[in-house]
Chains A and B, each alone.
Chain A
């Protein structure tokens, strides 16, 4: 999910642009007038020309910006933009000079006309404007890039946060607080009743916690490791449910080295206990089976009960997550289904087996 970036509102962007524009040109005009003032007092006519210069500058740079934006030069490489920028700056400079000269000659007829057929004067004036426009565009590009890089930075930070959140959510789901606190409560009672059993339970709970933290970083684990965790989990649940939870395993020894996604089997077993057996007053049986199939490995969790899709709150999310994870890891090569078979529920996962050994991560 892409994080939402709050853009600067158009009104605010416009305010910033025009504020800077008006101020920058005003500053330039002030500097020029101070420069003139060093020698002699400013005349009213000089002031008029400066005002004319101010508005021409505003107009021509705004036009320049319009050209930059409509041609999409902000998104282009510098090598592409620079020659075009120079050309437009030259053309606009000529236009600026012409505009200013025409207005000057019409409104200040008592003055020496600006528009004279003197190539050198025209050239100097044009170059003056070009330099101004270049400096202007430098500022403009710098500002745009600055805003963009800051926005990019925020975007990256948000992405990073989202990733962290994801990891945390996975971890939290794997910890299964309902299970954890119930187990701890049971252990508390065992401390008096059967201290040896209590010690064992603490070790198992530690194994589950350690495993949950480690799996955040791992893509696959050997099936044997996963089975160990499932066993620790079931033994703890047995401490709570006692005779209401009966479980058996059928995992051939030659399969324990096969690589499977971590917490996959564990999630299925947890679901079976939580939604299948826990709601039954008399409890039920649970069977975990692993077997080789024609093109991979099949993991089956069977429990007493009946599965009605959408009936149990929260189970839909767990199933969806499992499906999504399998898809992410194996593409379309893994299968996952839950079916009712003679008064039991079977969750079956089929994952392809990889022939190479020794790697601990999938490409």
Chain B
């Protein structure tokens, strides 16, 4: 498993690298001292795992993660930061605290998913089993894409709907569309990208458009529904008839 260490302190990187020498399954393929270096290294070497310090000059660990699609597996490494750790409460991320306890590190490594299927070619698109990292204000989420029901455009932002959460993240729906697997995620209109796995019913709508009803319910107990524009309706029918 290829791993990248991201920490602004050289000694901290060195310490972690020396602890990781004992784990044969982990191969440290690079070290980065800040988010910019890390982003470049991720694009170049595609690590499976990142050890990430939360507090860094420039962009912090969360901001770095929010910029990576798909988000690699992450183990946070932090000295002591109640504020940073509070962000983890929304979902189960693993972290180790400095100074690192070797046993605790081994436990965190044990919890990682095994390496991705090596037969899969390097994909440029995000698959539904991929994870993305979302950050909205103080809160952070790791979401598996298949749990996202739909994306909704709000100005320059996109609202991501999964479970009962709806964080607002700074992304454009067009950019997102390019990255998502087109067989699963369908651009229904200028406003929405829908996860087809969540579609329950399709009904004819005005002007040759369609109304899609999802398996999920809105707060009134009705199925969540959104319109497919006329232009997209033909493509939608094609896609489903496959």
State yes or no: do A and B come from one complex.
yes
Where the two chains meet, the residues of A that have a C-beta atom closer than 8 Å to any C-beta of B are 177-178, 180-182, 184-186, 188-190, 192-193, 239-242, 244, 278-281, 283, 313
A-B contact count, CB below 8 Å?
62
Checking A181, A241, A244 against B99 with a beta-carbon cut-off of 8 angstroms, the contacting residue is A181
- Enumerate chain B residues within 8 angstroms of A193, measured Cβ to Cβ: 11, 14
Q: Shortest Cβ distance from B51 into chain A, in angstroms?
A: 13
- B98 contacts partner chain A, Cβ-Cβ < 8 Å: yes
Pick the 8 closest A-B CB pairs, nearest first: A189-B15, A185-B98, A181-B79, A189-B11, A185-B99, A177-B80, A182-B79, A186-B11
Tell me the complex Cα distance, A221–B144, Å: 57
- Enumerate chain B residues within 8 angstroms of A192, measured Cβ to Cβ: 18
- Is A281 a contact partner of B99 (Cβ separation < 8 A)? no
Nearest CB in chain A to that of B58: its residue: A281
Q: Shortest Cβ distance from B121 into chain A, in angstroms?
A: 36
Size bracket, chain B contacts: 20 to 34
Q: A181-B79, A189-B18 are in contact. Are A239 and B11 (CB under 8 A)?
A: yes
- Is A186 a contact partner of B57 (Cβ separation < 8 A)? no
- B34 contacts partner chain A, Cβ-Cβ < 8 Å: yes
- Enumerate chain A residues within 8 angstroms of B58, measured Cβ to Cβ: 279, 281
Tell me the complex Cα distance, A160–B154, Å: 54
Where the two chains meet, the residues of B that have a C-beta atom closer than 8 Å to any C-beta of A are 8-12, 14-15, 18, 34, 36, 55, 57-58, 79-81, 83, 97-100
Q: A240-B11, A241-B9, A313-B83 are in contact. Are A280 and B57 (CB under 8 A)?
A: yes
- Is B57 a contact partner of A185 (Cβ separation < 8 A)? no
Checking B34, B57, B99 against A188 with a beta-carbon cut-off of 8 angstroms, the contacting residue is B99
- Is B9 a contact partner of A186 (Cβ separation < 8 A)? yes
Checking B12, B18, B97 against A186 with a beta-carbon cut-off of 8 angstroms, the contacting residue is B12
- Is B57 a contact partner of A279 (Cβ separation < 8 A)? yes
- Enumerate chain A residues within 8 angstroms of B36, measured Cβ to Cβ: 281
Checking B14, B34, B81 against A189 with a beta-carbon cut-off of 8 angstroms, the contacting residue is B14
- Enumerate chain A residues within 8 angstroms of B55, measured Cβ to Cβ: 178, 278
Nearest CB in chain B to that of A243: its residue: B10
- Is B12 a contact partner of A189 (Cβ separation < 8 A)? yes
- Is A190 a contact partner of B79 (Cβ separation < 8 A)? no
- Is B80 a contact partner of A181 (Cβ separation < 8 A)? yes
Q: A192-B18, A281-B34, A281-B57 are in contact. Are A185 and B81 (CB under 8 A)?
A: no
- Is A178 a contact partner of B12 (Cβ separation < 8 A)? no
- Enumerate chain A residues within 8 angstroms of B9, measured Cβ to Cβ: 182, 186, 240-242
Checking A242, A278, A313 against B10 with a beta-carbon cut-off of 8 angstroms, the contacting residue is A242
Tell me the complex Cα distance, A280–B9, Å: 13
Mind listing 17 A-B residue pairs with CB under 8 Å?
A178-B80, A178-B81, A180-B80, A181-B79, A181-B80, A182-B9, A182-B79, A182-B80, A182-B98, A185-B12, A185-B100, A186-B9, A189-B12, A189-B15, A242-B10, A280-B57, A281-B36
Q: A181-B98, A188-B99 are in contact. Are A278 and B57 (CB under 8 A)?
A: yes
Q: Shortest Cβ distance from B36 into chain A, in angstroms?
A: 8
- Is B97 a contact partner of A181 (Cβ separation < 8 A)? yes
Q: A241-B9, A280-B57, A281-B58 are in contact. Are A185 and B15 (CB under 8 A)?
A: yes
Tell me the complex Cα distance, A280–B56, Å: 9
Q: Shortest Cβ distance from A117 into chain B, in angstroms?
A: 86
Nearest CB in chain B to that of A313: its residue: B83
- Enumerate chain B residues within 8 angstroms of A188, measured Cβ to Cβ: 15, 99-100
- Enumerate chain A residues within 8 angstroms of B34, measured Cβ to Cβ: 281
Q: Shortest Cβ distance from A271 into chain B, in angstroms?
A: 15
- Enumerate chain B residues within 8 angstroms of A180, measured Cβ to Cβ: 80
- Enumerate chain A residues within 8 angstroms of B81, measured Cβ to Cβ: 178
Nearest CB in chain B to that of A184: its residue: B99
